[in-house]
Structure 1
Amino acid sequence: MNRKSTSGYAITLNGNLISSQTKKQSTVSHSTTEAEYKSLSDMTKEVEWLMKLMKETGINDNLTPQLLSNKKGAIDLAQSKTDHNGFKTKHMDIKYHCIFHLLKKSIIKLNYVSTHLMAADFLTKEVGKRIVLCSRSYLNLE
């Protein structure tokens, strides 16, 4: 059995989907917090690239992207409200902590959203038809 988590995100601009990704993580995570943090890190890298692209093309260059997560532990870790050693995340410091630096510089914002309102959940797990339809509507994919 493969124990690797699946990462997924959906990025919108003015209510329209501009980027999304679903992929198996390359390593096994030690916790759901670590798996979600890896996913946030992937999304942060994509947002950072999109921000550079928009700046070069003159589109919304003073925008502050808001990242949403339904995992409070991952949010606390990104905002350094927790002891990283308590999460046993020392091995993650270099590869995944780009999100911490962007938050510290106020380049991005990170907020909690209830699992019931997480539009990207259908990208990473099996969900019911109602959730898929709600997510499609939120992402303007109708």
Structure 2
Amino acid sequence: MGLLYSGAKSGLTAHMYTDSSFADCPYTRKSHSGFVTIMAGAAVSHSSKKQGLVTTSLTEAEYVGMGHAAKEGVWITWMLSDLGVPLREPITIFADNQSSMLLSDSEKLSSRTKHVDVQYHFVREYVTQGKCRFEWVPMKLNTADVLTKPLGPIAFKEMPAMLGLPWKPRAYTPQPESETSDESSNDSSGSVE
């Protein structure tokens, strides 16, 4: 099993998926964010980590996660450009929270969002500058889900293909040990025939 990359040699595109949990750490009440970058049909980068601040809503947690994904997306674009591999811009980042996507597109800070750390508002600048754009994706099609929460059995079985892993699960049947190996290991007489 391995990642299966395919696609054209020119006009390389990348897209990302981002997702966040909300206040799932029982001790700090911090949320977790995850993202995965897909290029040529398979994952090239991913991250799953606890956020550095406590957020007061799922929208804020998703917005912080979108910031982590946007930084990675812009970095990948710059890195590939330095290597002479042009990447079509803007990079598309799929998210499943429409409220956080509206926040990334708005110039106004509301009383509910003004306390979000300023370091995450660069997402708005990236969108305005055309470096990235956000699109909505249904939760069940969000590949980053696996990085932020446990999945049910059906979603778990579909996830490898979404990450570019051509994997077909097989049933495991334990094989009984052969009788000859059991007899030889139980012989403790030490005699040689």
Taking structure 1 as the reference length, what is the TM-score of the superposition?
0.91
How do 1:1-142 and structure 2 match up within 5 A?
1-2=26-27, 3-80=29-106, 83-86=108-111, 88-92=112-116, 94-142=118-166
Decide whether the 8 Å contact of 2:89 with 2:130 is kept in 1: no
Decide whether the 8 Å contact of 1:120 with 1:135 is kept in 2: no
* Equivalent residue letter for 1:54: L
Q: Report percent identity of matched pairs.
A: 28
Aligned equivalents of 2:106, 2:45: Cα separation in 1: 27
- Deviation digits for residues 5-58 of structure 1 (CA, Å, limit 9, x no counterpart): 110011111212111000111221100000000000001111111111010011
* Equivalent residue letter for 2:106: S
Secondary structure of 2:72's partner?
Answer: helix
User: Unmatched 5+ residue regions in structure 2?
Assistant: 1-25, 167-193
Identify the structure with the greater helix proportion: 1
Aligned equivalents of 1:61, 1:19: Cα separation in 2: 15
State the aligned residue count.
140
* Equivalent residue letter for 1:38: V
* Equivalent residue letter for 1:42: H
Aligned equivalents of 2:138, 2:118: Cα separation in 1: 29
- Deviation digits for residues 76-127 of structure 1 (CA, Å, limit 9, x no counterpart): 000117x5315x2212252101111111112211100011111110110011
* Equivalent residue letter for 1:15: G
Q: Which has the larger radius of gyration?
A: 2
